[in-house]
A and B are shown apart, each in its own frame.
Chain A
Amino acid sequence: MSPRRWPVLILAAACACSRSAPELPKEKRSAFQILSEGLVSDPPCSSRIPMEWSPSLPVPTLKEGRLLYRVFFRGWHGRPDTGLFLHDAEGDALFSAEGPILDCRQREKPGRAFADEPSTIKDQAEYDARLRALYLSIEEMGRLFAEGNALSTEEKIKTAVFAEEFDALSSPGHARSYRALSPDFWAWVKKNGGKVPSSR
């Protein structure tokens, strides 16, 4: 390298090294989303569910009039070069939005495996943003479902939008497991103009 280039190099190095650290992913998830996505790390799930399984999206359910949420857990196997396979529901948890996990267990039989279908949303940032919005929406739907009142037109529109978004962000292979988590909730969604998760 020519000696005349050294000052340029030094200047560039100074610029490169003095650059501030890259912006770290900011925590924008709601408390409900953090709780739901971290269920495997919290007792009693931490004792019953392997760390290689992930929780599904939560679905509202009513138990003795109390609003709770259900998720199922799914494992996976495979590699990028040979194909990835998601498992159907292999465990379940019941929890409240305030935190306590009321029940968590593995199912007796392993879930059926099916080929992974990545979401049609290609952009990760868009996916993450829509997922955050969906979690907020799940909480709102839970509240409306628990209140049991007739929905206004605006609320019905919100319900339909929620259901569309849930369908878009949940993997199609898990549709049946999602429906089975809380049949009453999906019946309520359907009654109010929303679609239930479908296998597409």
Chain B
Amino acid sequence: MPRLQTFLLLALLLSPLSLRSSPAPEPKSLAPLEPAARAAAEADIDNLCRSVPEKCDEGQRLLSDYFKTLNAATICDEGSCEIKMVRLLNHRLRDLDERENRLPRPAGETAARPLLRLSVMASGRLMRAAVRMNSPESAIQYSPDDRRFAARDVEEYCLMAASDCTAARALLASDDQLRDELEICGVNGCAFEKADELLLRAEAEMSGYLGLPKIDSSNAVGLYSLANGTDQRIVSLYTTIVNRELDALREGANGLEKSLDHVEKDPADPADSIKSMGADLHERHRRAALGADRLAHHLGYGGDSSRSSHWRGRVNAEAARLSALRARALAVLSARGLVARREAENGVLAGAPRPPPSAAPASRPEPSRTLFDSRMIPRPEASVTSVPDILPGEPSRLKLVNNMLSENPLARADALRRLGLSKTIGDPGRYAAHAFTQKDPSGCAVAAQAQILLAHGLVADSVTAETLERVLIIEAKRKNLMITGTPPEYSGSLLVERGMLVAKNRRTDHATLEAALRRGSVLMAGVNARALWGLGSGPALPHAILLTGAEITSSGTEVLGVYINDSGVSPPGAGRFVPWAEFLRAWQGDFVEVL
């Protein structure tokens, strides 16, 4: 460009003749909005002059400088300047934004900042000019983590749509508040609950960002960087806290183990130390488990699975250890007569009387706390109800012998069981009494957990299964354990919230599943309902069911099949027997084990 033109442009930029409301030379993209933006900026400064008169001159000078820079940027956008002018104007814009940032804001931090909209328009035009001159880097003004960059993104949204403007402004305000609270947490230390709240708010902030439409000039990089930076700081804090909780859980388990060692050796020990550890260990497990799953879920947004599976693995290991310690504690307390023998055998510490042996207990005792989970009944009492039939009817002995050799797995399992040649592991009868058909289409995982809570007597008698499903869904949504459906990380988390010990297994093999069944645990498993229901072939229908027991041959060499509770069918599949190979075809590789 000739030197003369550069000189004229500089003269225009510096000239006092640049009028406050000089018209936009050439409308491009945001250009149609320019008159309104200029008017809003003038009104803003007028407001400043009224509210803070001593800053009026400074505001007016700033406004005038923005107008000049915008006019010059428009000329560059039309192709009438060199790249060094683009750089100069960029530098100048940055200074102007800095001055704007220092202006008092009578309407508060969340008020509109119309001067920045002029900056957005000017930098958009400079960027176009720089790109045309093959030098886009000349138009970059801010590092992405600069909060001023985010403030400009907000004003860009405000130029385009009022609803997006409100959402973007709320995002900025929420980020400010989050950072303040994070700062306090960093200085004073942070309880798990507070960190959990901050993490969920960071998730909401990132979702808010993702919900905004993309904008042309910067793709809202400033807002993203701000939200992402806050998120990373919160994740770092949260990780520290989850590690702390996991360490506390391990130390608590170590303490219980030592106490048990001592009590087992000393018959005179009153075992008070064991009894007093229950509630505390239960709470430590709840926090560590929720924290590990929250991290897995949260880090999943960024595609990071390696670290999150590490935390879940630690929780699984500690839960299994606690389960074993619970059994030892029960044995000790039972031997001392501190809990009734029958109750101890069934895993009850708190001395609650057992329900009568009927399919649907008429009434249950008041729940009371157990050793280190809040369940009244850590393991449901076995054999209270009869195991559901595999096949109906009363076949003759001869028919049974024939069936025993049958290729039909149902007939064979039925015959082996009737002839006493197989054994039932788990307690399908008890769980079958609590099967129900889910009401919410996405509520299968919740319905499965509801049945476990009902079978463990953790719900008041007056609460029906349908009510429980509804209440649990509300609770799960409130705690972010359920969104449209249940995210895989939170399968079983409603049980953890009630103090139950669970181990979560993702993408595992059938040997691991079989081992859990052989331990007699009740499991929640993910299956393809199309295969389970025999609906022919087609797209998978993911579904969660309960595995309430297994039938294995007396020799223990072969799993014949599993008993399931299926909330997806009506009447509910209460204790339905599914042959092992058929189940494995439907199983999708995930399960949650109640320990």
Contact = CB atoms under 8 A, between A and B. Distances in A.
B488 interface: yes
Given A9-B397, A16-B404, A25-B585, A51 B526 contact: yes
Interface in A113-130: 116-119, 121-124, 127-128
Nearest to A116: B538
B536 A52 contact: no
> 4 shortest A-B CB distances, which residue pairs?
A50-B485, A47-B300, A127-B537, A77-B441
Contacts of A86: 539
B302 A44 contact: yes
A8 interface: yes
Contacts of B299: 43, 47
B557 A21 contact: yes
Given A37-B540, A46-B489, A51-B486, A81 B441 contact: no
Interface residues of B, number: 70
B541 interface: yes
A53 interface: yes
B443 to A, nearest CB: 9
18 contacts: A12-B405, A16-B416, A22-B581, A24-B584, A38-B589, A43-B296, A43-B300, A44-B301, A44-B302, A51-B485, A51-B486, A51-B487, A74-B539, A76-B541, A82-B570, A84-B535, A100-B303, A122-B536
Interface in B297-337: 297-305, 308
B488 A80 contact: no
Contacts of A5: 397-398, 401
Interface in B367-420: 397-398, 401, 404-405, 409, 412, 415-416, 419
B581 A23 contact: yes
B444 interface: yes
B537 A12 contact: no
Nearest to B526: A51
Contacts of A110: 484
B350 to A, nearest CB: 34
Contact of A8 (B296, B401, B507, B510): B401
Interface in A97-150: 100-101, 105-106, 108, 110, 116-119, 121-124, 127-128
B406 to A, nearest CB: 9
Contacts, number: 179
A54 B541 contact: yes
Interface residues of A, number: 65
| Residue among B442, B541, B557 with the highest chain A CB neighbour number at 10 A | B541
B539 to A, nearest CB: 6
Nearest to B400: A9
Interface of A: 1, 5, 8-9, 12-13, 15-25, 37-38, 40-54, 56, 74-82, 84, 86, 90, 100-101, 105-106, 108, 110, 116-119, 121-124, 127-128, 171, 174
Contacts of A16: 404-405, 412, 415-416, 421
A101 B441 CA distance: 28
B288 interface: no
B210 interface: yes
B579 A22 contact: yes
A180 to B, nearest CB: 17
A151 B554 CA distance: 61
B558 interface: yes
A77 B539 CA distance: 13
Contacts of A119: 536-538
| Residue among A16, A81, A116 with the highest chain B CB neighbour number at 10 A | A16
Nearest to B397: A1
A54 B539 contact: yes
B293 to A, nearest CB: 11
B401 A53 contact: no
A127 B296 CA distance: 35
Contact of B581 (A25, A54, A122): A25
B471 interface: no
B451 interface: no
Contacts of A40: 488, 542
A46 B297 contact: yes
